[in-house]
């Protein structure tokens, strides 16, 4: 028999619940609710559950004589059974709304943009004192999330390293789709929030931004983070950058990823006198990914890929050995759509992408919902393998 437990099941909003010395205290979210239960022999459980006589009651006093008679006929014993609801039970919204003080509760941050394992928040200043706690709750409540960051909007003179700060989880800012061996071309790199962590992972990066101020801070960040050997910066229009990127990587290959530090067991082997030295890893000539984070217009730049590898654009270089159908780069393009339904949004984005490329995109195409930016505006990231036929098309 179930009791009307839902009326007990809420967390008081704006109560500051869950905070102890400014830290998240998960124990405070424990709620024990007594439930009125009927104890019967196992073989009678089904009869009780299916009986039309049994309805929801919240109190023993509410039970009608009909129910009491029925229970008696089934030799059921009425007992009070406590059910415990803990931190794991509540949603991130329940918890965040409970933690924040009353005056901040109304505009509490509830959404976040999600890129791979990273959740990006954009907290307003009044929520910053609670940033680590909010980050922790989001991390706890989203199983695929390993890193929660807060985007910092201002670029000023002191701000030279990162435009995001870690709130909770692992300091791994590179989305898993990149391997350390990869070469990444970041067409709209900004000050490098993507390019620099990718290089820290071992990727070689061609990073570009048309804005001279972004470019200036990009180069400063590259130096500051000591990834000069792996990141090359450019200040060009995105379309020109795409047209030049393949030839640049071919003519002046990028360095191999730094060798990972050998493990202790490997060190011993390496010291053995007859162990030959490891062959140097080859320099990298082939671009594996294009990142295009300019959601308003990035799709419009996709026509720059048309014929980009054809001999007439490649200036006599034969790039066909380097890029075959399976090894064409993946393009990750941020964009907006007014379609709210997933299937319609995907169809809309696909149609615009294919129109610009002049070719269809194949099976390796995925649509990643990033966030809602306005009531009728959704942000997505579409990833697709650059069609071989589009890149080698002759005019």
Ligand X SMILES: C[S@@+](CC[C@H](N)C(=O)[O-])C[C@H]1O[C@@H](n2cnc3c(N)ncnc32)[C@H](O)[C@@H]1O
Residues that bind ligand X (CB under 6 A): 188-190, 193-194, 208-211, 214, 237-238, 293-294
**Least distance from ligand X to the Cβ atom of residue 27, Å:** 38
Alpha helix segments (H runs only) across the chain: 45-50, 65-73, 92-99, 102-105, 131-141, 195-201, 212-224, 238-251, 264-271, 311-314, 342-357, 388-391
Q: Which is nearer to ligand X, 193 or 329 (CB)?
A: 193
**Least distance from ligand X to the Cβ atom of residue 25, Å:** 35
Phi, psi of 44 (to 5 degrees): -100, -5
Pairing mode of beta strands 164-169, 113-115: unpaired
Phi, psi of 35 (to 5 degrees): -115, 135
How far apart CA 351 and CA 368 sit, in angstroms, is 16
238 is in an annotated binding site: yes
Q: Which is nearer to ligand X, 97 or 332 (CB)?
A: 332
Continuous segment of H or E residues that includes residue 176: none
Q: Which is nearer to ligand X, 67 or 189 (CB)?
A: 189
Nearest residue to ligand X by CB is 190
**Least distance from ligand X to the Cβ atom of residue 175, Å:** 11
Continuous segment of H or E residues that includes residue 114: strand 113-115
Q: Which is nearer to ligand X, 238 or 387 (CB)?
A: 238
209 is in an annotated binding site: yes
Q: Which is nearer to ligand X, 150 or 293 (CB)?
A: 293
Q: Which is nearer to ligand X, 306 or 334 (CB)?
A: 334
140 is in an annotated binding site: no
**Least distance from ligand X to the Cβ atom of residue 220, Å:** 14
19 is in an annotated binding site: no
**Can you state the percent helix, strand and coil of the chain, rounding each to 5?**
35, 20, 45
How far apart CA 322 and CA 254 sit, in angstroms, is 14
210 is in an annotated binding site: yes
Helical axes 131-141 vs 92-99, angle rounded to 10°: 160
**Least distance from ligand X to the Cβ atom of residue 6, Å:** 43
**Least distance from ligand X to the Cβ atom of residue 117, Å:** 16
Continuous segment of H or E residues that includes residue 24: strand 23-24
Residues at the binding site are 209-210, 237-238, 293
Residues at the binding site for S-adenosyl-L-methionine are 209-210, 237-238, 293
């Amino acid at each position: 028999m179930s009791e009307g437990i839902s009326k007990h099941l809420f967390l008081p909003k704006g109560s500051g619940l869950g905070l102890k010395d400014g830290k998240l205290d998960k124990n405070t979210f424990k709620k024990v609710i007594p439930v009125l239960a009927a104890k019967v022999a196992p073989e009678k459980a089904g009869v009780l559950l299916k009986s039309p006589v049994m309805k929801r009651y919240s109190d023993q006093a509410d039970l009608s004589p009909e129910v009491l008679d029925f229970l008696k006929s089934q030799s059921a014993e009425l007992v009070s059974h406590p059910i415990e609801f803990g931190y794991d039970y509540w949603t991130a919204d329940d918890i965040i709304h409970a933690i924040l003080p009353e005056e901040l509760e109304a505009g509490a941050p509830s959404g976040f943009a999600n890129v791979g394992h990273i959740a990006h928040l954009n907290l307003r200043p009044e929520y910053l004192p609670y940033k680590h706690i909010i980050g922790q709750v989001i991390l706890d409540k989203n199983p695929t999330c390993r890193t929660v960051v807060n985007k910092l909007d201002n670029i000023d003179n002191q701000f030279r390293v990162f435009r995001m700060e870690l709130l909770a989880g692992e300091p791994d800012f590179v989305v898993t789709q990149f391997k350390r061996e990869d070469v990444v071309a970041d067409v709209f790199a900004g000050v490098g929030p993507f390019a620099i962590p990718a290089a820290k992972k071992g990727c070689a990066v061609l990073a570009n931004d048309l804005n001279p101020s972004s470019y200036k801070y990009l180069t400063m960040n590259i130096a500051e983070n000591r990834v000069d050997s792996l990141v090359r910066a450019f200040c060009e229009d995105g379309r020109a950058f795409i047209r030049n990127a393949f030839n640049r990587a071919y003519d002046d290959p990028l360095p191999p990823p730094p060798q990972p530090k050998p493990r202790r067991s490997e060190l011993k082997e390496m010291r053995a006198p007859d162990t030959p030295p490891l062959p140097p890893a080859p320099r990298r000539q082939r671009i594996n990914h294009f990142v295009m984070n300019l959601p308003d217009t990035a799709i419009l730049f996709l026509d720059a890929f048309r014929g980009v590898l054809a001999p007439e654009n490649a200036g006599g270089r034969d790039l066909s050995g380097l890029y075959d159908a399976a090894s064409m780069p993946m393009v990750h393009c941020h964009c907006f759509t007014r379609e709210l339904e997933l299937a319609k949004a995907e169809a809309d984005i696909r149609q615009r992408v294919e129109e610009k490329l002049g070719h269809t995109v194949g099976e390796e195409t995925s649509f990643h919902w990033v966030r809602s930016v306005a009531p009728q505006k959704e942000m997505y990231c579409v990833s697709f393998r650059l069609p071989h036929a589009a890149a080698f098309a002759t005019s």
